[in-house]
Structure 1
């Protein structure tokens, strides 16, 4: 059947395809086809008559007007792209849900760049099934098959495929997640793949809180959203909070923005996380209620010892290294566990809540415990059963 297409030189097919796709004019259910004279035909969603009525026959002189969407400026080309009527197969690529649409976009991009069938098939089969989106950055889960399939492509083909992937996911940068450092600094191991000169800084909004970070240097766990929401639901307007592992502000910001903490002491020793934390405090308008302590929290605690009503120890796989520091931060009316005895305090421990947040490794669960600590001679709290809640369903 005859389909309205944009005919363009093969060397300019990818930027032209991207411009058409960004404007919503590219028919991603049809593959691009090779034409004589080293040209490529990119199928359009609009009819030839409608396109010619709006644009004329020369796409380098676009003057879009309703009902067609506007089209970003096409690159300056020796031979301008033109409208053409091309015979294409009547059958379309099957589109079944977001995954199929993503595959169709990537397939069209590879075809426009002249990638061989084998390389295209390998990449389509290895496209990631899961990813994390932070601002305009998509971080895919690492996959040897995906890495090998990308390595088989030329630089131009790889950029075209990753550009199509970004466009399909409404992002501008694509990368792969890395292994987070096991050290207390918890550095991100993410790598950006597209574009070639991509910077790592992005601004992400979650639960009406702005988080800026460099995804290559600082981690961001989207899986902790339920716990951040729980913290943000408290009323801390009369409380001083100490966050001993503040990072970029994962929990400091919910305490300040939503729980309205009277004041918060944020401890962090990683330079990249500190830069992001300070940016985020300003971006959310809460810097005046937060004191940032750079360096080891075992030393920083001297500045707010016995001043905190609440201590946050958000560190996995274990926050045990900060328990004694947390005890020193708490006011005389509170403390944490057996470590309290080591600094001469005698307290009663009451476990108020256990939040089973998520599984983050086989048979390894992220659990948060709310512990209320009071002097032994204080009035005993009401007897109750510890509340246990699952943020995620149990592992099979």
Structure 2
């Protein structure tokens, strides 16, 4: 985080910290982010946007199941994932594919999962399987972070758990934040506040002025950032990750929020609640019709052109380089679709790992499915399964 005192222009009326305005121009001195990281941010965001469009198309064709678009939120996801260290663990929700890809998850695995195959999560990338029940990942991320403290007496890694604004109304949010505060775990809570929990607006979720302010009740630091500014999100989450692991330099940095809570012997808490203010450009999922409950969202400040404008101004991108990134993205995406759709289907895999030891009922159901396939073949599941 820049150590220069922010001017009023560096935060909007809602106290969302930013480095780039909605057009992609700096509002304060640029942060110390390497050119390699900046270009990785851009290409990862380009891939996330392309994947999002392709996934929606595949769903409409019946080639994958229900899909949760991430346009408008992918900038925050990519920036947060790249701000993590290799040893850290990501606890994602169902909408966080951009973060998963930035951590190294194979997009073919995600497409295969959406087509009904087993195999979510990636231990090598240190990414947990995506969490669909709301907020259940939060206590688990805290517990995993606590493990390292119990084992060695100091943080071995940080955990980063993503959540939406609606998750702050769940009991698991309270339990996770409270436990993290009490035991000072190396956990970063990345709240993507898009203003809507499906069709419920944020003002029906809470009377709190901001979601970041909820952190104060648990004795941890709360930060509010413009989540559609990849630079601001990267720098904020990077500081939170370093602070989580007792990095003295990170603790000494200027807090990203003037109302940040300071506690503990190091002068700052390990856990941080980062509220990234974003917009959900599309539907909640492909089964949702957002026109029934909200107006068309404002697309100004889109993180992709915003970042591209900044990188062009820095001389890191031009038309030729932008086209080259597009070519790499398309090649990678086409290969992922081909690999995903080439996978063989084994419907009986649905019965594996239901219990440590299969119960008689599970064995009976598996035997019945095998009998049906033997008798009717692929007609049991239709032409696609």
- Bigger proportion of residues as strand: 1
TM over 0.5, yes or no? no
**Structure with the larger RCO, 1 or 2 (CA within 8 Å, 6+ apart):** 2
Whichever of the two has the greater Rg, that structure is 1
